Amino acid sequence: MKVCVSLFALFCFTSTLFAQPISPADKAFLLKKEDSLKTVGLKIVQGKDAGDRFFADSAFTRIFVRALRTKNSFYHPFDSIINISKLYPPDSSFKIFTWQLMINENTIRQHGAIQMKTADGSFKVFPLIDKSDIILNQTDTISDNNGWMGAVYYKIIQKEYKGDKFYTLLGFDENNIKSDKKIMDVLQFVNSKPVFGSKLFVFENSNNSQKQMARYILEYKKEAAARLTFDEDLGAVVVDELTSESNTPTKKWTLVPDGEYNGFLWKNGKWVLTMNLFDGAPPKKYSAEKTIRDAKGTIDQTKVKGGEQEPRVP
């Protein structure tokens, strides 16, 4: 019975979010634009060279903005556009769209927009301008949508503390030819405008002193598949612990998961990093297919390979 009630509640929520207060003419217009976006969006990914991808991205942005200007477009799901991420929080107050543009193997840019839900269905959108290449202190910088730490988001976690709402974003950045990044950021709306980053990330050391950061960035060896994921059952953001393959931890492109896990727990309005999240063996769903630790939990030197030389940068 509880399962049936939960499914019914989910259906009602989805139906409420994507109810169709869109006029037939506007709906037809949006479907036509979506069809164009689907075609152009694939060219952003499949373009033969940077020029083709730039042209496709520019065309995609123009068409997308025109579509979003349509009254009540907030309720249109844009389901067929597969090259972009489309997320909304539990309170359905906004939608966030993100995607990436590969300029070359060593230069990736993220693009995006936040569309706000408005009472009259009017257009209210904040463009997201990726400034990650010029942000010097990426873990401490707090900025608006014009100084965005770019990422393609795959999860929104909504939290409240003392009446304030915090939207924690988990995202992926195909950083460069050497390494990938996963980013845990916080979005707030201050005076109805988006602000990214907040001193909510707490790191405790052995002396019980604390360090606070505005966001958490996990950088690791290209395609090492490090985990940064929200576990609903634990109420925690589970993070792979990383170890350098070449005993040079400052070289982020040598870092790989070692089979152990840490996690961020929400405590008194903060994300507090907990070391060794699982006391003992982790649940089966977290068992690492590839780990450089042996059965006793020590580093297996026979598995430590690669990463000894810096990758070639074209």
Q: What is the pLDDT along the chain (314 residues), one digit of tens a residue?
A: 434 444 444 444 444 454 558 999 999 999 999 999 999 999 999 999 999 999 999 999 999 999 999 999 999 999 999 999 999 999 999 999 999 999 998 899 999 999 999 999 999 999 999 999 999 999 999 999 999 999 999 999 999 999 999 999 999 999 999 999 999 999 999 999 999 999 999 987 655 557 899 999 999 999 898 999 999 999 999 999 999 999 999 999 999 999 899 999 999 999 999 998 887 778 777 765 445 445 444 444 444 443 333 333 32
DSSP state of 177: S
Contact 177, 313 (CB under 8 A): yes
| Residue 210, beta-bridge partner list | 204
| Predicted pLDDT of residue 259 | 87
Prediction pTM value? 0.85
Q: Which residue has the tokens 């068409």?
A: 63
| Predicted pLDDT of residue 288 | 52
Contact 170, 153 (CB under 8 A): yes
Please state the domain extents for the chain.
140-303
| Predicted pLDDT of residue 59 | 98
| Predicted pLDDT of residue 66 | 98
Token pair for 127: 């463009």
User: Could you tell me the strand order of the sheet in which 210-213 lies?
Assistant: 210-213, 201-204, 270-274, 255-267, 236-244, 228-231
Instruction: Please report how the helices 24-46 and 50-68 are oriented relative to each other, as an axis angle in degrees rounded to 10.
Output: 160
